[in-house]
């Protein structure tokens, strides 16, 4: 894959709310397009809000500079969500993982939490390899 397209692909991820909020991790799938450092894409997730699983979709726009990945996720109104969330992450050494912090600026103040994203294709390939090695 060309260096200018290194993040293009499907990524599986999860995000956590701050320690004081008793809500389980929420999972998502991101489809990223890396156009020479300009990042765009979509996110489809299942928000865990209390006892409710809420499906929601969002668009993202951001930048990649070296190992720094930043983007703004803006919900499209699905699941009753229409706010934006900023993400600041670091690309792992192998290029298959992004880990960092998300931040929401809201009327009640700023809320932050952690997130991680793993490249889906390579993750699945690594899992198949481990299974084959055990056979």
The torsion region of residue 120 among left (phi > 0), alpha (psi -120 to 50) and beta comes to alpha
pLDDT band at 44 (very low <50, low <70, confident <90, very high): very high
Total structural domains in the chain? Answer: 1
The CA distance from 99 to 87, in Å, is: 10
Is the CB of residue 64 less than 8 Å from the CB of residue 37? yes
Q: In the chain, helix, strand, coil percent, each to 5?
A: 15, 60, 25
pLDDT band at 106 (very low <50, low <70, confident <90, very high): confident
Domain residue limits at 82: 3-134
**CATH for 7:** 2.40.128.120
Task: Check whether 88 has a pLDDT greater than 60.
Answer: yes
pTM of the model: 0.83
């Amino acid at each position: 894959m060309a260096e200018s397209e290194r993040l293009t692909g499907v990524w599986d991820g999860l995000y956590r709310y701050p320690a004081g909020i008793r809500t389980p991790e929420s999972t998502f799938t991101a489809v990223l397009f890396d156009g020479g450092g300009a990042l765009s894409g979509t996110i489809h997730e299942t928000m865990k809000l209390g006892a409710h699983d809420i499906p929601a979709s969002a668009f993202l726009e951001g930048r990649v500079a070296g190992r720094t990945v930043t983007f703004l996720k803006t919900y499209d109104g699905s699941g009753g969500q229409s706010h934006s969330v900023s993400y600041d992450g670091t690309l792992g050494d192998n290029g298959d993982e992004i880990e960092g912090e998300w931040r929401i600026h809201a009327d009640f103040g700023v809320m932050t939490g952690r997130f991680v994203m793993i490249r889906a294709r390579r993750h699945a390939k690594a899992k198949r390899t481990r299974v084959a090695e055990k056979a």
